[in-house]
Amino acid sequence: MYDRIKGFRDFYPGEMAARRATIDTLEDTARGYGFREIDTPALERAEMWTDKSGDDIVDELYAFEDQGGRHVTLTPELTPTVARMVVAKQQELSKPIKWFSTRPFWRYEQVQQGRQREFYQTNVDIFGSSEPEADAEILAWAADAMTSLGLTGEHFEFRISHRDILGGVLESYDAEVDTEDAIRAVDKSDKLSTAEYHDLLIGAGLTADQAVEFDDLIAGGDLEEVREFANTERVDAAVDNLQNVLAAADDFGAREFCTISLETARGLDYYTGVVFECFDSAGEVSRSIFGGGRYDDLIESFGGQPTPAVGVAPGHATLPLLLQRAGVWPEEAVTTDYYVLQIGDTRTEAARIARDLRERGHVVETDVAGRSFGSQLNYADSINAETVVIAGEQDLANDEVTIKDMASGDQLQVPFESFPGEHERPTLADFE
């Protein structure tokens, strides 16, 4: 026997049915907003990551040299790939560009709850608009997707912030502060003790007193207090932008799910404006469910024309944790509309019934293993068949088939030529 590789998962039919229902909900919601589906390669040039993050990042990648001598990697995230795609056809694409996709990614990292080495995300992005309405539409899509999955405001919240608020406040101090290091410290703050957090802020250039002051100011989340404290154009513009995004989110129906949280920073350096993370309101899921934000400089950094962008990426490892805790995870079970049961030499007739039912869009199975009546009926029960159509030699000799409702156990004989007849979804009740 071969063991499954650590950090990679198998999905058997029941769990896959629940995953598929979840993915379909996210994607159908995206289509309703006019996002268009794309697909992207599993393999990219490793330089797309090492050029921006240094060679040390290779330790986190599934990177190797291919037979053509190219340094390549299984893609650890989508953003650089879609940036490359936008740059390749930037002049041809209508703006704003609204794309979504669901696919796997790979990172060599520590396996833990909600984090695997192969993981799936649904990415939803808008390129080509710097307006607050674009950020708000991303929030609205995320809110609609979550509520369509059966969640309510009691189950989740979006903690929303702005990178320029954090950066502007840090720059207002009379000190040489490494802004990016300080923002990374803010991003880690909920996982650290107060002393550890302050030590990181001090290491980024703040004094001990400034670290305490900064912590208190950011934790308070009062935008006007932050504006007055910093007294800079950068913070003024960021506060105005965040307020405008929230106002648009109110119009779009997502404001009720948003909480101002200036301690939400998103650690990746390419974020430039509004950022947010989705959390379990009850605190039972210990990490963020997903996050997103604005990354206006990324396309230009890949050689394209300046193009504002904003996006979000729910992950299909963490999202099920929230759905399960909220009691709305889809049932992990296969379902079947009809099982056409054969007794004797009735393959031709059974196949006709199965084809007619499938043409009406139903899930239909029939015997392909030469099993007995009892074995077929047990199998139909195991696949949750709603209705069994029994095509037996004796019934067919009388031009009849038997319909059996599996929930009630009731059954009825009906004319062979009349089934399924004019009925789109024939059941026992249609022939009584």
Binding residues for L-histidine: 77-79, 107, 121, 125, 266, 270-271
The torsion defined by the Cα of 204, 206, 210 and 211, in degrees rounded to 10, comes to: 20
Binding residue numbers: 77-79, 107, 121, 125, 266, 270-271
**Partners of 391 in beta bridges:** 342
Is residue 238 within 8 Å of residue 162, measured between CB atoms?
Answer: yes
Q: Alpha helix locations (H) across 172-318? A: 179-188, 194-203, 208-220, 223-230, 233-251, 298-301
- C-alpha to C-alpha distance for 18 and 292, rounded to whole angstroms: 24
- C-alpha to C-alpha distance for 155 and 146, rounded to whole angstroms: 9
Is residue 284 within 8 Å of residue 154, measured between CB atoms?
Answer: no
Sheet harboring 62-65: ordered strands across?
43-45, 71-74, 62-65
Sheet harboring 385-392: ordered strands across?
364-366, 336-343, 385-392, 400-405, 411-415
- C-alpha to C-alpha distance for 404 and 384, rounded to whole angstroms: 13
Is residue 97 within 8 Å of residue 126, measured between CB atoms?
Answer: yes
